[in-house]
Structure 1
């Protein structure tokens, strides 16, 4: 049995992973979809103080409070920043990492620095009401909410590396614009220490290719029990 911690990308709440979580539970695993501070059902906590460190603490505190020591951290898009930092800070509680069309940062990187000008323009599309949040794009699910801008701009601080963990990367091939993750996927695909998968899907893999993503996550559970 594996314990999956499912962390959504910017503008999205736990609802984006909940259908997948139900399937993982049916397969006999534990699954915890996360809503990050200031987003989704926790949008009432949005403030200028919410940043990347806040979101790292959201997930780290969950692992500690639930006494999880075998976590497979799954991060979509922006959440690649979060799961990398959590694994770096709590390595004894993490067994594996799955990046779903996500950033894989090194020390000093930010979400803003790891994407193209196209995505940077999305990030800087602030809401008039606050000035410190990035507005969801018109084609997102209606449940999407403004996202704390500071979390997208803050650089991550890492002390170790990812080599101690089983790592998988899921690359979405169906972006309508050039994917900001193509070069990253190509590099990881050539690295024998990574499992990589190219999925025929847009960026929202959970919605567009849920069955294939489920198979990948179940396969990853086998990796972590080798």
Structure 2
């Protein structure tokens, strides 16, 4: 017999699993719908010291009380944190971990990092980053649940029931970091993705294919995936479908992600053949300077290329040594401007502020270089670095002659902990005025990324921003290293010509 231990997310308790639990029992399974300390009928047990460790101990006690030989432990939303903590302490008892529309927290991660609406963070923490005097987070009312996840598939009755039965969440359960020893790292896992939240298997496949190390574990044969066409609470919106998925997951079924087995896209050659110009390394910057740096017209304009991310801190080579960025830097220098690449510190989703500081510092160093025309700078952003556009769009400086964005991510993607609200290009562009924007988009983009670009373009159209769109209909995300076609080459050349024309205007 298989036993399912079901652990729900914030504000809810064992009640939320009622229909799923009944169906699982009808299939012959043993079911334990767990209510954590402070939730549902245990709300009076919560005290100021109730934290993540309290909830981990709750789940460990349930696991210890199960007699069935196979225990499938399911974590929904925040529930994955106590689930992983319990699995780390009792790995020999767990046959599979199921991530139900949940993030992938690692050792040291607090649950607060994965809350979709980061206004909650600012409300919860005081200026020093500590929990304020109110040690419990009030439960949402019917119109507020969407701040915690997609409500697709829930009718008014379901939302009203959630609000009626919800309990305040002890704040320290979200702020205490998860502590993992790695004991459960090899356990089989299944991800159940709710497409109403914006995440799907295709996006996971794209992340794995991109080659970044942090996603390669998703291609492990012991990892499987399912999709549910619903929002963040499938136990209420589609209990029958969720029950079937859980039974299949326990049996080891689900779609596997196949690793490409190829050179990662970021290490493939640049799409253009460019002269092998030397570079100068200054701190985090690499400068590619034309042979005649002063030229007939004095100091040269410069283009600063800003890579995407997040990129792991220990990844080698770093982005400025990737063939694509080396190619862009050399290409710019071959056309008579200073090409500059940068290793900024966007290593995690909380690092956008630090990365923005690195970009600002790089610009200051450039403008102080006597070979650079301090009033003729362009900034060119790629992929996840697109969110960093916000600062210069919101307040375009006089020295900025153009911004460019290539296959950019222009809003946090599903499953991303949302960064500071400051990093919202669609809001910032309304203040951009006549700042020229050169945007390269690809026709074979992931749907979630493409949606952020379309939202941005809709806003630019409404506010009259000056945008040139360069389309690569048959291009993929990263086309400038993985799609060696004439279409790709023309797109890169056109984008560079446009940026340089604005620099020289």
TM-score by length of 2: 0.40
Aligned residue among 144, 163, 175 for 1:153: 175
Is residue 136–residue 145 contact of structure 1 (8 Å, CA) maintained in 2? yes
Q: CA deviation at 1:189?
A: 5.8
Aligned to 1:106: 106
Aligned to 1:210: 239
More divergent stretch after superposition (154-163 vs 105-114):
154-163
SS at match of 1:78: helix
Is residue 80–residue 102 contact of structure 1 (8 Å, CA) maintained in 2? yes
Please report the RMSD computed on the Cα atoms of aligned residues, expressed in angstroms: 2.4
Aligned length: 215
State how 1:1-226 maps to structure 2 within 5 Å: 1-67=1-67, 69-116=69-116, 118=117, 120-122=118-120, 131-139=134-142, 140=159, 141=162, 142-160=164-182, 162-175=184-197, 187=215, 190-223=219-252
Q: CA deviation at 1:161?
A: 5.5
SS at match of 1:109: coil
Structure with the bigger RCO (C-alpha within 8 Å, sep 6+) is 1
Distance 1:195 1:211 in 2: 20
Is residue 133–residue 149 contact of structure 1 (8 Å, CA) maintained in 2? yes
Is residue 68–residue 93 contact of structure 1 (8 Å, CA) maintained in 2? no
Q: CA deviation at 1:121?
A: 2.6
Distance 1:161 1:79 in 2: 19
Q: CA deviation at 1:162?
A: 4.3
Q: Which runs of 4+ in 1 moved over 3 A?
A: 65-69, 122-126, 182-193
Q: CA deviation at 1:107?
A: 0.6
CA change 1:52–1:184 in 2 (3 A) is: farther
Is residue 189–residue 196 contact of structure 1 (8 Å, CA) maintained in 2? no
Gaps of 5+ in 2: 125-132, 143-158, 208-214, 254-505
TM-score by length of 1: 0.86
Distance 2:53 2:67 in 1: 21
Distance 2:122 2:59 in 1: 25
SS at match of 1:59: helix
SS at match of 1:174: helix
Is residue 169–residue 197 contact of structure 1 (8 Å, CA) maintained in 2? yes
CA change 1:189–1:196 in 2 (3 A) is: farther
Q: CA deviation at 1:168?
A: 0.6
CA change 1:123–1:11 in 2 (3 A) is: farther
Gaps of 5+ in 1: none
CA change 1:88–1:147 in 2 (3 A) is: same
Distance 1:158 1:76 in 2: 18
